[in-house]
Amino acid sequence: DIQISQSPSSLSASVGDRVTITCRTSQNIRTYLNWYQHKPGESPKLLVYATSILHTGVLSRFKGSGTGTSFTLTITGLQPEDFATYFCQQTFSDVFTFGGGTTVE
Amino acid sequence: QVQLQESDPGLVKPSQTLSLTCSVSGASIRSSGFLWSWVRQSPGKALEWLGSISYSGTTKYNPSLRDRLSISADPSARQFSLSLTSTSAADTALYFCARVFHDNLMNLDYFDYWGRGTRVTVSS
């Protein structure tokens, strides 16, 4: 299986901050990388797919970038509703795998 | 609005079979271009994709669970289900169902709608 190392596992931030989360994969996955946001008790929400394409309704303060084995989710101008756990997912291989998650608190 | 909701089996005894159902509203399981998946998160671990079923009934499983896992669908009931046999404490997790947008041409997959998850504990 393709392993994903996501960092940091948690970070402390304030409203208005710029936040960067990184995922590194154990092999080249081109741009088959998705990002999700999850709040406790809620359903996870798709933010970005194919590395950089914002899902419908996702605001432009979220930005995904990268290729190959290194990917980044950047939140510019953190808002109160953005405090959550974020995780990445690769869909390059038949066995989809996820990063360990980053909690923004 | 697409919504998915997992059933709530609660406590399962070791060695028994875990059965979960995902009820879908706002979408048809018969629609091409989508897969219907199960994902779980064990305490302190990353999310784990378990398997998927397509609108035509084709299944794909995580090899780590293939011998114990079965996914089926009942389109008329707008439900798909998971059956996991020979459970152990290692199967204790938060289980999610999700819809997967699947573009065969681009080989593109993303999980566009999820349920809220159902907590399953395997314990005697």
B50-71 pLDDT per residue, tens: 999 998 899 999 999 989 999 9
Gap between the terminal Cα atoms of chain A: 30
Whole-number pLDDT of residue B75: 87
Q: What is the sign, positive or negative, of the torsion defined by CA atoms of B85, B90, B93, B99?
A: negative
Task: Please list the ranges in chain A whose pLDDT falls under 70.
Answer: none
Banded pLDDT at B103 (limits 50, 70, 90): confident
Chain A positions touching chain B (beta carbons under 8 Å): 4, 32, 34, 36, 41-46, 49-50, 55, 87, 89, 91, 94-101
pLDDT band with cut points at 50, 70 and 90 for residue B105: confident
Say whether pLDDT at B107 is over 90.
Answer: no
Reference A46, options B9, B84, B100; nearest CA is B100
- What confidence score (pLDDT) does residue B106 get? 82
Residues whose CB is less than 8 angstroms from the CB of residue B58 and which lie 6 or more positions away in sequence, other chains included: none
Q: How far does the CA of residue B118 sit from the closest CA of chain A (Å)?
A: 10
Is residue B41 over pLDDT 90? yes
Q: Cα(B86)–Cα(B89) distance, rounded to whole angstroms? A: 10
pLDDT at B104: 81
Mean pLDDT of chain B: 95
**Is residue B46 less than 8 Å (CB to CB) from chain A?**
yes
The enclosing H or E element of B95 equals strand B93-103
Q: How far is CA B18 from CA A59, B50, B118, in A?
A: 39, 13, 12
